[in-house]
Chains A and B, each alone.
Chain A
Amino acid sequence: MAYTEEELKKELETKEYEYGFYTDIDSETFPKGLSEDIVIAISQKKNEPEWMTEWRLEAYRVWKEMKEPDWPNVTYKKPDFQAISYYSAPNKKPKYDSLDEVDPELLDTFKKLGISLDEQKKLAGVAVDIVMDSVSVATTFKKTLAEKGIIFCSISEAIQEHPELVRKHIGSVVPQKDNFYAALNSAVFSDGSFCYIPKGVRCPMELSTYFRINQAGTGQFERTLVIADEGSYVSYLEGCTAPSRDENQLHAAVVELIALDDAEIKYSTVQNWFPGDKEGKGGVYNFVTKRGLCEKNAKISWTQVETGSAITWKYPSCILKGDNSIGEFYSIAVTNNFQQADTGTKMIHLGKNTKSTIISKGISAGKSQNSYRGLVQVNSRAENARNFSQCDSLLMGNECGAHTFPYIEAKNKSAQIEHEATTSKIGEDQIFYCNQRGIDTEKAIALIVNGFSKEVLNKLPMEFAVEAQKLLEISLEGSVG
């Protein structure tokens, strides 16, 4: 039976986060370990041009000499990088022309993945580039986008079909040698998404990518590159789920955003990687480098809702290079049980009259540790730079921790920098008050947490906000009482 687009979407029903399933699809997996040969093999496997192979090798050589950072406020057993397999692709190689050609088991996985897609179906018009264990298997709405000259495809495809764009921009915001994980990603990235919005075009729909780790022991190294040409606008959504697994899974993605003059990029993430079980076993290590570059009058907004991962190490940042450019960071980070998160942002003010806003909401429960780490840097030539930062922490119970590490470096006297921070605790009195009005404890916590997070939830595209609210509730289930 042939599925239509609509029917498939209808099938993708909302489920709670119980994605502890594992899809048994034939995969082609490389032997464990990393060497120049493996890097070359990955590149060859993907039929990449020589410059790409060389670029990967450069990254590998730099990475070999680097050490894992130990400044984040997290503790974990360092992964053995020679015990990871660096490439895994679903075996059915050809790209499908229509969804009824897709492996039924894969469709079933999509069904279980439902959470995000279901929300989208209500607001049809979301193009989804699904990254299933490293290789894109389905891309939709491509035609509509193509009519506007928008390119939205996997990065592998972009390397083949738009090499000039990729070659010009890849690594321009996050260089290979930027940090340990970025270098690793540059050497071995398997796939990811690519997006180009031409001059003056306003992308008519929200672009989405869904990531999912699916092969036991496979690190996932996604690479995303979004280029908004002069005067264009795009809103990009990214959401993730992952199956539960006993051993830790490494996720080291790199996202680069480039907003040319007068362009605007809105990048929203709902991150829901497997956080480990109640004893703190398993869970994804999420070491991500996300950075955007703003040219003149450009604007980049990062909005993130982080509820998953055993360890999160993530600082979506903005380089405000052009005059009058604007950077924004809105974040909700939830940690429960034994989760550890060290997350925040960097706002680098280089141009004149640049403005940045940071709103960070950390929610800690269980025995988790939640750190905000943010840098606001004003360069000597950045006249009239302005920043406003607000970091609020909400604690549940007595065994969790919230930490704030703000760094401010201002080298220009005209800079105006404001920082506000609060820490509060969900009090028994608040819960009793809600109980007394007929609201049970679980619902009361959801209400209080949603209220606390409201300023950030409001920044998300609507369908994402609904999902994010649900996620917050699920993540904190059973955390009090």
Chain B
Amino acid sequence: MLEIKDLHASVEEKDILKGINLNVNAGEVHAIMGPNGSGKSTLASVIAGKEEFEVEKGSISLDGEDLEDLAPEERAHKGIFLSFQYPVEIPGVSVTNFMKTAINESRKAKGLDDMPANQMLKLIREKSEMLEIDRKFLSRSLNEGFSGGEKKRNEIFQLAMLEPKLAILDETDSGLDIDALRIVANGVNKLRNKDNAIVVITHYQRLLEYIVPDFVHVLYDGKIVKSGGKELALELEEKGYDWVKQEAVV
């Protein structure tokens, strides 16, 4: 589904990604781990098409289609979803209104009419129950005054609403207490199916106890230096990133 080949990317002339190769197939969950500053969030932003990052070399394709010339919203229409590490606030725009706009813009891009209001309501009810979200929450301004945990839960709520092909979860576990983490992870697991794929970016192994990956990759200094099964995450937790760093240097 997602195919990344020899990807090099920079920001303000600083090289961040230095040759990433990654294949994610439908039905798979991949975890990308690595120390701070290794390029994890950059990779997520580049896949989503954030303009400030310059792709110097290599390619990203989704279902065989090269994404290079696609704007971020077009990538979203193709089914790429990024759960942000730091979701932004949009004052005065309710969660419901934002979701309504997002869904209808994607439908418009596919040549469909707006989703009928009753269908939208049903969808909202279903997904908010799944993530144990209070209805009042949905009328609040997007992310404004939300706690860290509420922001993350809201990201996953949007994921559930939009049902993308490829979901990238960037540090979704940070800011979540253990109960919220369980709810969010449960939500993500319910959304898993054979047609979609999930890339989990995380610093710690904790989230991976709940969202169990098929593959774990270790990113260090802009490159994937180690790949393996879910046991790699445990090994990392035990030995720390210094272990990988030393291996990378050698």
Contacts and interface: CB of A to CB of B under 8 A. Distances in A.
Chain B binds chain A: yes
Interface in A408-450: 427-430, 432-441, 443, 447-448, 450
A176 B132 CA distance: 64
Contacts of B97: 447
Contacts of B91: 451-452
B50 A432 contact: yes
B11 interface: no
B71 A438 contact: no
Contacts, number: 74
Interface string B136-157: 0000010000000000000000
Interface string A281-302: 0000000000000000000000
A434 B93 CA distance: 12
A432 B72 contact: yes
A274 B52 CA distance: 36
Contacts of B162: 437-438
Which of A427, A430, A450 is the most central at the interface, judged by chain B CB atoms within 10 Å of its CB?
Answer: A430
A429 B90 contact: no
B51 to A, nearest CB: 8
A448 B73 contact: no
A122 interface: no
B249 interface: no
A453 interface: yes
A452 B141 CA distance: 10
Contacts of A454: 92
B123 interface: no
A342 to B, nearest CB: 25
A184 B72 CA distance: 54
Given A432-B50, A433-B84, A438 B77 contact: yes
Interface in A9-61: none
Given A450-B93, A451-B90, A451-B91, A437 B71 contact: no
A454 to B, nearest CB: 4
A452 B92 contact: yes
B92 A451 contact: yes
What is the interface residue range for chain A against chain B? 20 to 34
Contacts of A440: 71, 73, 105
A443 B72 contact: no
B98 A453 contact: no
B196 interface: no
B185 to A, nearest CB: 22
Contact of B92 (A429, A436, A443, A450): A450
A448 B90 CA distance: 6
Contact of A451 (B73, B76, B93): B93
A433 B81 CA distance: 11
A439 B92 contact: no
A453 B92 contact: yes
Interface in B91-111: 91-93, 97-98, 101-103, 105-106, 109
B82 interface: yes
A92 to B, nearest CB: 46
Nearest to A430: B88
Contacts of A438: 73, 76-77, 102-103, 105-106, 109, 162
B228 interface: no
What is the interface residue range for chain B against chain A? 20 to 34
Nearest to A433: B88
Nearest to A361: B92
A72 B158 CA distance: 46
B88 A429 contact: yes
B37 interface: no
B199 to A, nearest CB: 14
A435 B72 contact: yes
Contacts of B50: 432
A439 B71 contact: no
A447 B73 contact: no
Contacts of A428: 51-52
A437 B92 contact: no
Interface in B28-78: 48-52, 71-73, 76-77
Contacts of A437: 76, 98, 102, 105, 158, 162
A62 to B, nearest CB: 45
Nearest to B161: A437
A86 to B, nearest CB: 44
A439 B104 CA distance: 9
B229 interface: no
Contacts of B158: 437
Contacts of B82: 436
B58 to A, nearest CB: 21
Contacts of B72: 432, 435-436
Contacts of A443: 101, 105
B87 interface: yes
Contacts of B101: 439, 443, 447
A447 B76 contact: no
Which of B52, B76, B89, B92 is the most central at the interface, judged by chain A CB atoms within 10 Å of its CB?
Answer: B92
B48 to A, nearest CB: 5
Nearest to A455: B92
B165 to A, nearest CB: 13
Nearest to B91: A451
Nearest to B107: A438
Nearest to B143: A433
A407 B87 CA distance: 37
B87 A433 contact: yes
A433 to B, nearest CB: 5
Nearest to A392: B91
A18 B77 CA distance: 32
Interface in B157-196: 158, 162
A428 B11 CA distance: 15
A432 B47 CA distance: 13
A453 B31 CA distance: 41
Contacts of B109: 438
Interface string A448-472: 1011111100000000000000000
Interface of B: 48-52, 71-73, 76-77, 81-82, 84, 87-93, 97-98, 101-103, 105-106, 109, 141, 158, 162
15 contacts: A429-B88, A432-B51, A434-B90, A435-B73, A436-B76, A437-B105, A437-B158, A437-B162, A439-B73, A440-B73, A440-B105, A451-B92, A451-B93, A452-B91, A452-B92
Q: Can you list the 3 inter-chain pairs with the closest CB atoms, starting with the nearest? A: A451-B92, A451-B93, A435-B72
Given A436-B82, A439-B101, 8 more contacts: A428-B52, A430-B88, A435-B49, A435-B71, A436-B84, A438-B102, A440-B73, A451-B91
